[in-house]
Every structure is written in C-alpha cells, then in structure tokens.
Chains A and B, each alone.
Chain A
Amino acid sequence: MKRTYQGRVWKMGDDIDTDTIIPGKRGTIPTMDEMKKYAFELLRPDFAKDSKAGDIIVAGDNFGCGSSREQAPAVIKANGVTCVVAKSFARIFFRNAFNIGLILIECDGVQDACQDGDQIEIDINNKVKTNGKEFPIGNIPDNLFEIVNDGGLVNHIKKLNAVKGGK
C-alpha cells in the first residue's frame, strides 16, 4: 500500500468552509467533472485551472466547517488533490472525506514552514516534511487507506462484496 505522498502545496488559511470549497449554488451541477471547475472559485480562482494530480492542500484550523455536503471533499479530490493537511478539520467533513476517498492529515506547525508552490512530503503514520523541516502526525489504520484507495466507502464495500462472491 502507498505509504508516502509527495506534491505541490496549495496554502490556505483557517476556517475554510464548505461554501468556500464549493459554493452552495454550484451544488446542483449534475456532474463532478463540471462541478470541479468551481472549487475554491471565490478564494482561489486559479485553483481549478492550475491544480494537478498529486497536489496537497495545507490549511489552518477547522478546515471543512459549515454544511455536511459530501460534494466538498469530492470536488477537492476531483481536482487531483490527494491529501489535505490542516491543523484541524470539522467533524462531518472529516468523516465524509475518507468516505469519498480523500486523505486528511492533522498536523500543527507545518503551516508556518511552507508556502504556495513548495514541495511537501507525507510519510503516513509518521511525519510531514517540507523545506527541510519535519512535523509528527497521528496514526491512521490501514483499512482506512483501503477505503481511500478503492475510491471511497461505497466502492470499497462493493469490491468487498464482489470478493465475497456476492455472499
């Protein structure tokens, strides 16, 4: 299983709410391919255009606060972001993110050590590294990564059910 993630930093502040991630009025767009173009449209109009596979968001406290809509983590993932590293996450966002296949890492301190465009490396269950500085992170069990790698909870269970031969 993949244990490290490396990518380019998108730096954001505290209290990034679900409306900032994807404005409520965009919530009715029928496909994710179309909706993802509006991710962070008010805060970072360059995000949807310039983000690429493997990018990593680094943010402050309370990332994902606001509504419980699952589209918020989903549009971040659809833009290629693999992980969000933040000081803290809103609870519902936290559960939704893993369940749709986006990795979240809680880490305090790294926010002051990197800027937009810097490289960052995440060594799962160990540390976050950027610009020569390292910060410890907590443990996430393997089966949560399986959910993420399968593309979210629904797909993960579908796969398990298929392996069980539909039993």
Chain B
Amino acid sequence: MGYTMVEKILMRNAGVDNVEVGDIVTTHPDMFMIHDIYTPYVEKVLNEMGTLKLDDPDKVTIMFDHCLPTAVAKNDSIHYDAGIRLSKKYGIEKMHIGEGICHTLMHELHYAKPGMVVTATDSHTTTYGGGGCFCSGIGTTEMAGALTTGELWFKIPGAIKVELTGKFQKGVYAKDLIEKIMGDLTASGAQYKSLEFCGDGVANISMEGRYTIANMSLEAGAKCGLFLADQQTADYFDENLADIDWIRPDDDAKYERVLHYDLGKLSPQLSCPQGVDNVHSIEEAEGTTLDEVYVGSCTDGSIEDLKAAADILKGKHVAPYVRFIVVPASNSIFKEAIEKGYIQTFIEAGGVISHPSCALCCGMPYGLLSDGQKILSTGNRNFIGRMGSKKSLIYLGSPAMAAASALSGKISDPRKLA
C-alpha cells in the first residue's frame, strides 16, 4: 500500500510501519520554535506544570521578531524578558534576537530540514514544508508539555495532491499560484489536510517560491503544505539527494482530491479585501489607487522577492504620495540585498527600508493604515484591521506586482513592465 508524503514523514518519526488517515501517532519533534509573542505564555504553563528541565534544550529555539524593536511600551519587559528567562532557566542557547522573521530563519539556519517533524507556536509554521519538512503550529499549553516530554501527538491527516506542470511566464510567481489555489479551495478547503505539491512543475519553482507556497497553504486551512524533495532541496540543505528523495508520495498513495495546475497558464493573482480566498485575476483589480505598498513578511521577503521588486524599480521612482516600505525577511537577506544593490535601488526609488522583522505584517510596529486607506502587501493575510484601522483595505500580491503598483500608485500588472 502506498503512502502520501505526510504519512511517510510522520510514520518515520513515530517509528511505526503502517498508518491510516485518522490514526494518531506520537512523534518526537526534531525542533521546537517559540517566538516573542508567546514566550510569557509558555513560561507560565511550564511553571504551572512544575517543569524544571526540558527534554532537550538543544532542540529548542526562541526568536524575537514580532515586536522587535517594540512600538508598544512594556512589550520589551513582557515578551523579551520572558524569552531571556526561559533561555537562562532551561539552557536554551539557540536565541535569535532581531535576526529576522522566525519562519525564514527556521529554514535558513537549517533548523527545519527535509524529513523532519518540527513544531512552533505559530500558525505559519507550515512554511518549512517548502523543504519537505512536516511542520504544524500548536498552542502554548501543548508546547510546554512537548518541551517537557519531547513528545507530541499528531493525527494523520487526509491529503490533497497538487500536480504541477509547466513553467511560470514572465511576471508570474509562486505567490500567484498559491493565491489561485486559495481561491479555488477557499479558506477552509484544505481544513486539517496535507496539501502536497508534486509533478514536473516543482522543479521549475525555486526554494524561495516553495516556501512562499507552503507558508500560505495554512490560509486554506491546511495542516501542512509539503513539497517533494529534489536536487534543489538537497542543494539548499547541503544534503545528498539519495538521503532525502524518499520525501515524495508513493505512486499508489491515496489522495482525497487531486488538483492540476499548469504554471504556464497562470496570470498574476490578488487576494482582495477582506479574505485571503477572495482571489481575483489582476485584470479585475487593476487601476485601484493605493496609499501604501509593502514588500516583506515570511511569505515574500526573500532575496528572490527583493530582486523581483528591484528589477522593476531600478532607475525609477515610486508614484508621489505612495509610501513604499521594504522589509527583508532576515539579516542575511538584508546583507545580500545590500551587496547586490537592491537596497540602493529601493532607496533611490523613494522606498523606506526597515530592519528584518514581522514589521507591518503583524500590524504592530509601524506603517499602519488609517480609515479608508489601501495597501498592496506581499504578506499572507488581509484580515480586517490586521494592518491598522478596521476600515483600511488590504490587497495581497507578488513582490513584482507590488513594485509595479508602487511605481504607478495603482494596482498594476507586472507583466506589462517585465
């Protein structure tokens, strides 16, 4: 009998030789991540449980990214201090303070590798599936329990296969594919399921693109978004392909549903206000005037994303009155973007460059919108009030679309500039 990717990864970790959808397995996660928002809650439950020692502090990392530097008085004393106390009390040495967005760091630092089981106190933990890693978010009580025992149970989810063929046309990106899928599946269409990306088309999507897609799989309700492991995956993680190429579905694996997408037939897509599954092709929203444009987040703040935006903006200037904000997802991406001249391009184009963090994606530090304002963001959520006023409107699109739109001050089709 054949298995899906999620079945293979969970079975291997749990040490069982057979599973069926709906079975519960006990895993020993390879890595646990807590970000600054949740440090006080995890600390509180660990105290309540009377935990004096973690199962394995080397498998734990704490990352400060949501409220760093804080714009809210006392956030520093509440969230940072709790993180530092956790680190000292339990000997957690993998502390990453202000180095970038947690989900980007998790794969960049090779904490979340192909075939691993990883968990974190955040919903977009699905991201690392781009590298063939099973990863799903949990609450703070479970995190405290799992840190103590080293164990965490998962129910084997049903799976939806996404068969990809072809190659993106110029001006079309991973973001457009996942938005198209979101629109087709709706925000609950993959509820609790494993979304599994396979087919010849995968080879034509970069690692950065795969992380974008896995990150947003969560917005369709998915428990995880997994990519098969190929040569690109092996290169990214300095692994031998032979060691990881078991991360692909068996030919006779049972899927609840199979979706097909020809990458070559996609057009730029937008999630329109207010719902990630309110997806429209660019033609339907083109021309909408904007107040702000944001390139960043754990969805689209990679070097490739910054390049796509910089290529469009080089030697040009954004429209008057448009606030254009660029936030590289991590310090290493920031440094590379400086070396490659992208940051200079953004500055000369009139952009505001900010330090690697969640930035305006979580609506905490800055760049917030007031009533009636419109933003085009490369993030993953356009929930009401996420980036400021409840009466502001959020459109989600690719970095290239963001750059093209910043130039004209209106939602614009990047294909026309490419």
In the complex, besides A138-B22, A154-B141, 17 extra interface pairs with C-beta distance below 8 angstroms are A95-B138, A95-B139, A106-B22, A138-B21, A139-B19, A139-B23, A141-B153, A144-B153, A153-B142, A154-B48, A156-B145, A157-B50, A157-B149, A158-B48, A158-B49, A160-B148, A162-B50
Q: How long is the Cα–Cα vector from A157 to B148 in the complex, in angstroms? A: 8
Q: How long is the Cα–Cα vector from A91 to B21 in the complex, in angstroms? A: 14
Whose C-beta in chain B lies nearest to the C-beta of A137? B22
Given the contacts A99-B142, A144-B153, A157 and B51 also touching, CB distance less than 8 Å: yes
Given the contacts A153-B145, A154-B45, A141 and B52 also touching, CB distance less than 8 Å: no
| A interface residues, Cβ below 8 angstroms from B | 68, 91, 94-95, 98-99, 106, 138-141, 143-144, 153-154, 156-158, 160-162, 164, 166-167
In this assembly, does B71 line the interface, its C-beta being within 8 Å of a C-beta of chain A?
Answer: no
CB < 8 Å neighbour of A95 from B22, B142, B149: B142
Whose C-beta in chain A lies nearest to the C-beta of B157? A91
Which size class do B's interface residues fall under? 20 to 34
Q: Which residues, 1 to 55 on B, are CB-close (under 8 Å) to A?
A: 19-26, 45, 48-53
Q: Which residues, 113 to 144 on B, are CB-close (under 8 Å) to A?
A: 138-139, 141-142, 144
Report the 8 A-B pairs with minimum CB-CB distance, sorted nearest first.
Answer: A138-B22, A157-B49, A139-B23, A161-B50, A91-B192, A138-B23, A153-B145, A141-B26
> Are the C-beta atoms of A167 and B148 separated by less than 8 Å?
no
- Quote the shortest CB–CB distance from A15 to chain B (angstroms): 12
- Quote the shortest CB–CB distance from A153 to chain B (angstroms): 5
In this assembly, does B151 line the interface, its C-beta being within 8 Å of a C-beta of chain A?
Answer: yes
Q: How long is the Cα–Cα vector from A140 to B22 in the complex, in angstroms? A: 9
Contacts of B89 in A (CB 8 A): none
- Quote the shortest CB–CB distance from A143 to chain B (angstroms): 6
Given the contacts A140-B24, A143-B151, A161 and B142 also touching, CB distance less than 8 Å: no
Interface of A (DSSP majority class): helix
Q: How long is the Cα–Cα vector from A106 to B191 in the complex, in angstroms? A: 16
Q: Return the CB mask of B53-73 against A: 1 if under 8 Å, else 0.
A: 100000000000000000000
Contacts of A161 in B (CB 8 A): 49-52, 148
Q: Return the CB mask of B244-274 against A: 1 if under 8 Å, else 0.
A: 0000000000000000000000000000000
- Quote the shortest CB–CB distance from B185 to chain A (angstroms): 16
| B interface residues, Cβ below 8 angstroms from A | 19-26, 45, 48-53, 138-139, 141-142, 144-145, 148-149, 151, 153, 155, 191-192, 223
Contacts of B144 in A (CB 8 A): 157
> Are the C-beta atoms of A167 and B24 separated by less than 8 Å?
no
Contacts of B139 in A (CB 8 A): 68, 95
> Are the C-beta atoms of A160 and B149 separated by less than 8 Å?
yes
Contacts of B191 in A (CB 8 A): 91
Contacts of A143 in B (CB 8 A): 26, 151, 153
What are 11 A-to-B residue pairs whose CB atoms are below 8 Å? A94-B155, A98-B153, A138-B20, A139-B19, A140-B23, A154-B145, A158-B48, A161-B50, A161-B148, A162-B50, A166-B52
Q: How long is the Cα–Cα vector from A144 to B155 in the complex, in angstroms? A: 11
Contacts of B50 in A (CB 8 A): 157-158, 161-162, 166
Q: How long is the Cα–Cα vector from A91 to B144 in the complex, in angstroms? A: 19
- Quote the shortest CB–CB distance from B90 to chain A (angstroms): 13
Q: How long is the Cα–Cα vector from A158 to B141 in the complex, in angstroms? A: 12
Q: How long is the Cα–Cα vector from A104 to B56 in the complex, in angstroms? A: 30
Contacts of A154 in B (CB 8 A): 45, 48-49, 141, 145
Q: How long is the Cα–Cα vector from A138 to B158 in the complex, in angstroms? A: 13
Contacts of B22 in A (CB 8 A): 106, 138
Q: How long is the Cα–Cα vector from A144 to B145 in the complex, in angstroms? A: 12
Contacts of A167 in B (CB 8 A): 52-53
Q: How long is the Cα–Cα vector from A95 to B24 in the complex, in angstroms? A: 11
> Are the C-beta atoms of A141 and B223 separated by less than 8 Å?
no
Q: How long is the Cα–Cα vector from A60 to B112 in the complex, in angstroms? A: 37
> Are the C-beta atoms of B26 and A144 separated by less than 8 Å?
yes
Q: How long is the Cα–Cα vector from A160 to B55 in the complex, in angstroms? A: 12
Whose C-beta in chain B lies nearest to the C-beta of A165? B52
Contacts of B53 in A (CB 8 A): 164, 167
CB < 8 Å neighbour of B24 from A99, A138, A166: A138
Q: How long is the Cα–Cα vector from A98 to B26 in the complex, in angstroms? A: 13
Given the contacts A161-B52, A166-B50, A99 and B141 also touching, CB distance less than 8 Å: yes
Contacts of B153 in A (CB 8 A): 98, 141, 143-144
Q: How long is the Cα–Cα vector from A144 to B20 in the complex, in angstroms? A: 17
Q: How long is the Cα–Cα vector from A99 to B45 in the complex, in angstroms? A: 13
Contacts of A99 in B (CB 8 A): 141-142, 145
CB < 8 Å neighbour of B25 from A91, A106, A141, A156: A141
- Quote the shortest CB–CB distance from B42 to chain A (angstroms): 13
Whose C-beta in chain B lies nearest to the C-beta of A167? B53
Q: How long is the Cα–Cα vector from A138 to B23 in the complex, in angstroms? A: 5
- Quote the shortest CB–CB distance from A56 to chain B (angstroms): 19
Whose C-beta in chain A lies nearest to the C-beta of B153? A144
Q: How long is the Cα–Cα vector from A125 to B25 in the complex, in angstroms? A: 12
